[in-house]
Amino acid sequence: MTTVLAAAVEGSHPGLNITIFAIFVAITLVIVFRASRDTRTAAHYYAAGRSFSGAQNGIAISGDYLSAASFLGIAGSIAINGYDGFLYSIGFLVAWLVALLLVAEMLRNTGKFTLGDVLAFRMRQRPVRAAAATSTLVVSLFYLLAQMAGAGVLVALLLGVSGDAGQNLVIAVVGAIMIVYVLVGGMKGTTWVQIVKAVLLIAAAAAMTVWVLAEYNLNLSSLLQDAVNHGGKTGAKLLDPGVAYGKTGTTKLDFLSLALALVLGTAGLPHVLMRFYTVPSAKDARRSVVWAIGLIGLFYLFTLVLGYGAGALVGPEKIAKAPGGSNAAAPLLALELGGPWLLGFVAAVAFATILAVVAGLTITASASFAHDVYANVLKRGEAGDDRGREVLVARITAVVIGAVAIVGGILAKNQNVAFLVALAFAVAASANLPTILYTLFWKRFNTTGALCSIYGGLIVTIVLIVFSPAVSGTKTSMIKSADFHWFPLSNPGLVSIPLSFLLGWLGTMLSKEHDEAKWEEMQVRSHTGAGAEKAG
């Protein structure tokens, strides 16, 4: 396989970008190897020994959550679609209030390592754990596709790689590095990578935001007006809703569906939920969410300036023609502001973003399979944690998931990153959130209801996605050469989320199973922390 290197963007220095990225990888690998000393038991491999403070975990959560979609996709969407693009930021941020108020503290008190621990607390262990693991793997793979797609975009733009072969090669390299992070460092190493990445990402976004505003004498109104002036045919509409989602009744419904998926999806994302187990107490879990809300909210304010700044200083036409399309807005803005050096730093930060998030996703998916399926379904809780068999299975699973993510990333590399993440949110909001809320708050809820909600939500969501314009039938679909869509909405959340709640209710009412004693025990534990997993 040969790769042709050529400057993908005039003024870009691929060698410089590669060097800065290599330095970051070297530093994080040192951190990961240092953290690997404490990854022999399941508690250390999955939850870092519950040794992180609320503040540290909050920074790590923001690093886990602020993915390639946040940095590349949202900035690009704002540059092209203006107000409608910023609605991604609003949805992603508001979602944390659901996680803070309804999920974080109670989940930390009730579970041990995974979502399956919570759901199986008062239900039949094996079927519910198998369902939770299936859901976790599906959501994680959807999210991984988005991150790998972002890696392909960055390669084409920043390293000057032309042709599909070059992008495919570097997607494979990113996947390989991610697998090393997870195999060697476990949750502790992954968490430190996420902390470093969060600090770098927020610092880079802050510096670029101040720089853009300085170009307009710190006058946001002047920046917005300049974005309108350079917006071409849609320029006058960039400050109003409707550029992307207001053209027809269907697009308006699509936006409502997207917003619902974003707001409700976060509290069902397995890699976010798993982070609550890395702190020593429920109080720290709650504090970590507060830290995350502050940092994430600040970052999304930066994306408003970065998006409109890219539209004003680079121009939507140039962005649309660049490799990766709208995903290239932030890197092109960096090149415009600070030349090759700032572009190189932004390239490294964006790569760091992808590496940290895919590592978090991979360890979550592998932990769910090893802990829920292998240890508790196949081995019935007799896997022998002290001998490390469960951790070994988790590491093998991580390699398999990494390989699947590489192949999927290659197939999805030309999709908008923020949109792909929105699909992952739709699956999480449909399959996971109803079951979590029913488990924590509905006394009558039982195993049959949980299975109907998880499997029903998964099946409905995936079927609607497959037969939606996201996959076929439009110029921006994954499969452009075919048209087999019959569902009109690109994001299925508006239909799939209520259906999943309905299926959970229906399954519960049709079953006579009910364990009131376990419900009472869960209420005491979830609200007081009595019997919750301690640091160790």
The pLDDT tens digits for 85-130 are: 888 788 888 888 887 778 777 877 776 777 778 888 888 888 888 8
What integer pLDDT is reported at residue 506 of this predicted model?
94
What integer pLDDT is reported at residue 169 of this predicted model?
80
What integer pLDDT is reported at residue 379 of this predicted model?
73
The answer to whether the beta carbons of residues 50 and 536 sit under 8 Å apart is yes
pLDDT of 140 higher than 90: no
What integer pLDDT is reported at residue 6 of this predicted model?
34
User: What phi and psi, each to the nearest 5 degrees, are found at residue 353?
Assistant: -60, -50
* Cross-strand bridge partners of residue 11: none
What integer pLDDT is reported at residue 12 of this predicted model?
62
Task: Name the more confident of 324 and 283.
Answer: 283
Query: Out of 155-169, 279-293, 295-309, 439-453, which region has the weakest mean confidence (pLDDT)?
Result: 155-169
218: left (phi over 0), alpha (psi -120 to 50) or beta: left
What integer pLDDT is reported at residue 209 of this predicted model?
93
Tens-place pLDDT, residues 467-499: 888 777 777 776 777 888 888 888 898 999 999
Handedness of CA 89, 94, 98, 100 (dihedral sign): positive
- C-alpha 357/C-alpha 354 separation (Å) is 5
Alpha helices in 314-446 (DSSP H): 316-321, 329-368, 389-411, 417-431, 433-441
User: What phi and psi, each to the nearest 5 degrees, are found at residue 287?
Assistant: -65, -35
37: left (phi over 0), alpha (psi -120 to 50) or beta: alpha
What integer pLDDT is reported at residue 535 of this predicted model?
52
pLDDT of 284 higher than 80: yes
For residues 423-432, give the mean pLDDT: 85
> Which single residue is written with the structure tokens 């019935």?
380
Task: Name the more confident of 307 and 515.
Answer: 307
For the chain, give the percent of residues with pLDDT over 90.
Answer: 10
DSSP string, 4-62: EE--SSTT--HHHHHHHHHHHHHHHHHHHHHHGGG-SSHHHHHHGGG---HHHHHHHHH
Task: Name the more confident of 282 and 434.
Answer: 434
User: What phi and psi, each to the nearest 5 degrees, are found at residue 68?
Assistant: -60, -30
In order of 429, 450, 495, the CA distances from 502 in angstroms are 13, 11, 11
Tens-place pLDDT, residues 201-216: 899 899 999 999 998 8
Which DSSP letter does residue 532 get?
P
What integer pLDDT is reported at residue 505 of this predicted model?
94
pLDDT of 329 higher than 90: no
What integer pLDDT is reported at residue 4 of this predicted model?
34
Q: Using DSSP bridges, classify how beta strands 4-5 and 161-162 pair: parallel, antiparallel or unpaired.
A: antiparallel
pLDDT of 7 higher than 50: no
- C-alpha 263/C-alpha 503 separation (Å) is 21
Secondary structure percentages of the chain, helix, strand, coil, to 5: 80, 0, 20
pLDDT of 160 higher than 70: no
pLDDT of 383 higher than 60: no
Alpha helices in 159-185 (DSSP H): 164-180
Task: Name the more confident of 293 and 175.
Answer: 293
Q: Determine the 3-state secondary structure of 482 from DSSP.
A: coil
Burial state string for 296-319 with b = 16 or more CB within 10 A and e = fewer than 16: beebbebbbbbbbbbbbbbbbebb
**How many other C-beta atoms can be found within 10 angstroms of the C-beta atom of residue 90?**
13
What integer pLDDT is reported at residue 499 of this predicted model?
94
Tens-place pLDDT, residues 344-353: 888 778 777 7
What integer pLDDT is reported at residue 454 of this predicted model?
92
Element (H, E) at 162: strand 161-162
> Which single residue is written with the structure tokens 């990888």?
25
User: What confidence tier does 156 reach under pLDDT thresholds 50, 70, 90?
Assistant: low
pTM comes to 0.82
For residues 64-80, give the mean pLDDT: 80
Type of residue at 24? F
Instruction: Provide the mean pLDDT of the chain.
Output: 80
Tens-place pLDDT, residues 502-527: 999 999 999 888 777 778 888 887 77
Task: Name the more confident of 517 and 455.
Answer: 455
For residues 387-413, give the mean pLDDT: 79
* Cross-strand bridge partners of residue 161: 5
Residues 6+ apart with CB under 8 A from 430: 457, 458, 460, 461, 492, 493, 496, 497, 499, 500
For residues 208-233, give the mean pLDDT: 87
- C-alpha 353/C-alpha 399 separation (Å) is 20
Alpha helices in 485-515 (DSSP H): 493-510
Task: Name the more confident of 10 and 54.
Answer: 54
For the chain, give the percent of residues with pLDDT over 70.
Answer: 86
pLDDT of 192 higher than 50: yes
For residues 171-190, give the mean pLDDT: 79
What integer pLDDT is reported at residue 394 of this predicted model?
80
What integer pLDDT is reported at residue 210 of this predicted model?
94
Task: Name the more confident of 305 and 106.
Answer: 305
pLDDT of 9 higher than 60: no
Task: Name the more confident of 195 and 357.
Answer: 195
Highest mean pLDDT among 29-43, 138-152, 209-223: 209-223
User: What confidence tier does 3 reach under pLDDT thresholds 50, 70, 90?
Assistant: very low
